[in-house]
Chains A and B, each alone.
Chain A
C-alpha cells in the first residue's frame, strides 16, 4: 500500500535535508525495529483490554457532560451517584455491586453512537440509560435495536422514540428502547391544558432550531385544537442551538404582539434568553410565558431564574406527590448538593433502580430477559407510581405550575402545581384528528 521509495522521494524534495541512512533497506535493522514495535503494540493492546465478566452489575450511561447543556449531565451524574451508593450500601443488585460508566455524548449523535458501541462492546455493560437530546435519541434508537441492549431514556423527550416504527414517518420506537420520564407529547398536553385556563388567544413560540423546537410547536397547536382551546398561532422563531444573541428573535416576537408564548428553550440557551428578554421588556409586554422543561434548567443554573408568575413544566416535582419515596429523595439530594433535585437527576436515579428491579426479578442480566421485565412493568419512585405502556413509555403525569420563589428552599418552585394524567387514552383523545403519534 505504501512504499518507502515514494515517501523518501517526496521527503527529499520537500526538505532537501533528508538523512541518507533512512533510505537504505537494512534487513536486520528493519526486522529488529518491527519486533520491537510489535512487542510494544501487543503490550499496549493487552493493557487496554480486560473488563467484563467480573462480579458486578455494570451499567452504561451517556449524557451531555460538556458544552452549553452540560448542566443536564451534571445533574444526571448526581442522581446516578446517589442511586449507586444507596444500592451498594444496601446489598447491591442480587448481592452484586452496581458499577456505572458515564460517557459524554457531546450532544452529538455521532459521538453518542460511538460511546454506546464502546460501552456495549468494550465495557461489556448489562444495560444502558441516559440521553438528553431528542435529535440524538432518534439516531440512537435504531442502533440500540441492532446492539440488542435495553436502553432506558431518562430525559430526551421526542415522542417518536416511543412510537413504533412505521406509525409515523419519523417513528423509530422498538422493543429495546424505553423511557422512564415524560415525553414531549405528555408535557405539551399539559401545556395545552394550562393554556385552556389562561385568558390568551394569540400564541407564539420561540424554540431551538431542531426537532424538539418544531415538535413542541406542532404538538401544542394540535393539542389546543383537540382540546377545543380557542387559540390563534401568530408567530414562530427558531434560533439555532447555542445562540448568544436572541435580541432579533425577541424583537420579532414582540412585534407580533401575542398574548402568550410557549418556549421550549433549554440549558444555557434558556438562561441567555431570559436575561435578554427581561432587558427587552418581554415580561411586561407578554401576558403569559410558558416554559416547557423550564424547571430542569432553573434549578441547576446560577443566573437568570425563571420570572415569578410565569408558567413552567417539569417532569418531576420535588414536593408532589407527597410520598415517603419523594421526600426522602428530595431531602437527601438537598443535603448533599444544596439545591432541589431536577427532573434529570430524578430520571437517572430512577433508571438505576429500574435496572435493579428488573435484574432481581429476572434473576439474570440477559438483555432479552431485562427487555421482557421492562415491558409493561409497574414501578414506583420519587415521581410517583407509573407503568410502561405498550410502546415502552412511562405513564407519568404532565406537571405544570406557576413559578414562585420559596424562601424555605431558597429556590424557585412550582406553586400551585397541577398534575394532569397523561396516559394513552388522554393523549389520543386530546390529539383528535392530528396525524402526530401519541408516543405512548
Chain B
C-alpha cells in the first residue's frame, strides 16, 4: 500500500506531455530505447513516401552494388545499392512499412479471433467448447509453415490472402489462454459477483474479465508480434511471402543472401531492423504488462 499522501493527492488536470512523463517515470533505459526504436519504425512506416530518397523499384544501373556512404560510397545512396542499383535505404524503409503492416494486421486478426473463440468456448461450454478446442489442437499440432506453404501453393499469392494467412498464425494460443482464464474467473470471485448482479455476458466479459486477463494477452501479443515478423520474413525469404516488385524485410534478406560476400549491406541492414524491432517489442511488452497492472504499482 502506498503512502496516504500519494493516493489522496488528486490528479490535477495536467497537460498531456506532463501526464505521459509521469506515467513513464521509472521506466528502464532499455525499455526507453525500445520505445524509441518502435516509434522510429512507426514514423518511418507512416512517412515513407515523404522520406524515402527514391521509389523502391527505381533502378540506377550505373551505381550497381555501390557500398554505403561510410564505406566509401557516395552520398546519393547512403546505405548503398543492390545488384540492380536500387537504393537500399529506400527499399529498407518500404520494407519496414510492409513488414510492420503484415505483422500488425496478422497479430491483430489472430488476437481478435482467438480471444473471441476463447470467450465463446468458455461461455457455452459443451460441444461448442469441444469444437473450439479441437480446432485449437489441430492448429497447434500442424507446423504453420506447412499450412502456409499449402495455402499459398493452392490459392496463389496476393497480399490480402497473405495477411489473412498471417492472421491464422497464433490464434490458438489466445483461444486457449482466454478460455482457461475465463473459466477460472467464472468459477469464483468477481465474475460470479458481477453476473449475480444481473450483468449481461457482454458486460461480464468486456468490462470485467477482459481487463483482468489483458496483461496475459499483452504478453502474448508481444511474443506473437515478433513471431509474425519472423514468419513473414521466413516466408518471404523462401519466396512465398511478399512478392517482387513489392519488398519486405524478409524478401530483402532473401535476395541479399546471394550477395552476402560481395555486398553484405543488402541483407544486413534489413536483418538488423528485424532483430531490433522484435527485441524492442518484447522489452516494451514486458514492461507494459507490469505497468498496466494496478496491483503491481
Asked if chains A and B come from one complex, the reply is no
